[in-house]
Amino acid sequence: MFFKDVLVEDSLKQQLVALADENRISHAQLFLGKSGTHSFALAIAFAQYISCENRHDGDSCGVCPSCLMFNRLQHPDLHILFPNCNTKKIKKDSDSEQLAQEFRDYVFSKNYHLDLNEWLSELGSENKQASINIRDCANIIHQNSIRAYANGYKFYILWMTEKLYHAAAPKLLKTLEEPENKTLFILIAENADAILPTILSRTQLVKIPPLSEEIIKNQLIREENASETVATDIAAIADGSYVKALNLYQDTGELHTLLKNFNLVLKSIAAYAGNEVPSAINYLTVQDTFAEIIKNGKEEQKRFIQYMIRMFRNALLMQTQNHDLVKATADETKCLETYKSFFTVKNAAPIFNDCNKAIYHIERNANSGLVFTDLYFKIAQNLIKK
């Protein structure tokens, strides 16, 4: 992986290049970036650059023996740890080493754009709890006591460090604090609050900002041959995540369905809040829509409510004349023009709160039908002009 192929700001790449060139590499670093950033690719590019035998012009050469092994993610001094669990192949005591080939295949198939839910689906976790477990930690400690293959650095890249099993984490503390010479730990995470403070305190923070709309748009055009109009629309709603942008592009039908369902539900809520006749409210159709969403599982239910939150936020921004902050496609903007007058600074907070509570209850296996019905009427009550 070359630095030039990593989708992050150039200033961050230059910062890492300078650390390597000036031999100021901290032995434990935390790459912190939200889901969809190219943080794993950045970690591999950094490790490859450090190990490259002929690096030049701020990047690795790509052709030396070390680079060739990094390109296959099979350098003997590169150790990748990731959430794992028992599968049909690994019946008992899974660890990252046993699933290394499956993970490499996943990384290459996604061009280093990684997402935890996608990986767990690829793994076939079947709702099992995946973690970086105690066997992974024992492997790190054992490998760290062995001399590096190439007499250079040994690299330990922990993807989704939030999933480091808490009972296993203490085993790593001494190794993180006092590793063998020329050992680099790169911990990759999306949520620092979910990492043990004792782990955090032993790392140097590297913040990876969300991707700009311009970067996402240009990459969609270059990589997926998307039209400029489609790429611009998707980049506007991708929340800085290229994984989300790709999913939206590859399944534009999903975005169309979300908007269609949102429009149907909000039209009914607006009619209810406006005290219109039952035929205008059309609640039976809304119930059918909820039933269809519920049938598709918890992730689909949460996705729809999260979509509602984004649309409500955009409606409020439009109503308060903050159009520059609106993140919506042209079709979404047209839809929101119809409903923006219902949203005010006063009713926005309770609506957002009710939506987040609905997601919370869905995650904890509450009756989804009751959750959606309750949310419908709570939003309607908040939209009634008092």
Domain extents for the chain? 3-209, 212-250, 252-383
Give the integer Cα–Cα distance in Å for 158 and 279: 56
The CATH architecture to which 3-209 belongs is: 3-Layer(aba) Sandwich (3.40)
pTM comes to 0.73
pLDDT at position 225 = 87
Give the integer Cα–Cα distance in Å for 238 and 298: 21
Q: Could you tell me the fold of the domain covering 252-383? A: Zinc Finger, Delta Prime; domain 3 (1.20.272)
pLDDT at position 351 = 92
State whether the Cα torsion 108-33-117-200 is positive or negative: positive
pLDDT at position 126 = 57
pLDDT at position 113 = 86
pLDDT tens, position by position, 374-385: 999 999 988 886
Per-residue confidence in pLDDT tens, the chain, 386 aa: 999 999 888 889 999 999 999 988 888 999 998 877 889 999 999 999 999 999 999 999 999 999 999 999 999 999 999 999 888 888 788 889 999 999 999 999 988 988 888 888 888 765 567 888 889 988 998 888 888 887 688 999 999 998 888 777 777 888 888 888 889 999 999 988 888 888 888 889 999 988 888 888 888 998 888 888 888 888 887 888 888 888 778 766 677 888 899 999 999 998 888 878 778 888 899 999 999 999 888 888 998 998 899 889 888 888 888 877 777 777 888 888 888 888 888 888 899 999 999 999 998 889 999 999 999 999 998 888 65
Residue for token pair 């996402």: 216
